[in-house]
A = this chain, B = another copy of it.
Amino acid sequence: MSTETLPDTTRIVLASRPHGEPTAENFRTETVATAAPGEGELLVRTQYLSLDPYMRGRMSDAESYAAPTPVDGVMPAGTVGEVVVSRADGFAPGDVVLAYGGWQSHAVVPAAHVRKVDPATAPVSTALGVLGMPGFTAYAGLAAIGRPQPGETVVTAAAAGPVGSAVGQIARQRGARAVGIAGGPRKLEMLRELGFDAVVDHRSDTFAEDLAAAVPDGVDVYFENVGGRVTREVWRHLNLYARVPVCGLVSGYNATSLPEGPDRVPALMSSVLTKSLTLRGFIQTEFVPTHHDDFLREMGGWVADGSVRYHEDVVEGLEQAPAAFVGMLRGENHGKLVVRVAD
Q: Which residues of A contact B (CB under 8 A)?
A: 57, 63-65, 224, 227-228, 231, 240, 246-249, 252, 255, 257-283, 286
User: A252–B268 contact, CB under 8 A?
Assistant: no
User: B281–A277 contact, CB under 8 A?
Assistant: yes
User: B278–A252 contact, CB under 8 A?
Assistant: no
User: B266–A263 contact, CB under 8 A?
Assistant: no
With A258-B264, A262-B258 already in contact, the answer to whether A269 and B286 are too (CB < 8 A) is no
The complex places the Cα of A240 from the Cα of B270 at a distance, in Å, of: 23
What's the least CB distance linking A79 to chain B, in Å?
A: 24
User: A249–B262 contact, CB under 8 A?
Assistant: no
Number of copies: 2
Residues of B within 8 A of A63 (CB): 274
Q: List 25 A-B contacts (CB under 8 A).
A: A64-B274, A65-B240, A227-B266, A246-B269, A246-B273, A248-B273, A249-B269, A252-B269, A257-B262, A258-B263, A258-B267, A259-B261, A259-B266, A260-B262, A260-B263, A261-B262, A263-B263, A263-B265, A265-B265, A271-B281, A272-B279, A272-B280, A275-B281, A277-B280, A277-B281
The complex places the Cα of A138 from the Cα of B249 at a distance, in Å, of: 32
Chain B residue with minimal CB distance to A253? B270
The complex places the Cα of A280 from the Cα of B278 at a distance, in Å, of: 4
Tell me which of B228, B247, B257, B267 contacts A273 (CB under 8 A): B247
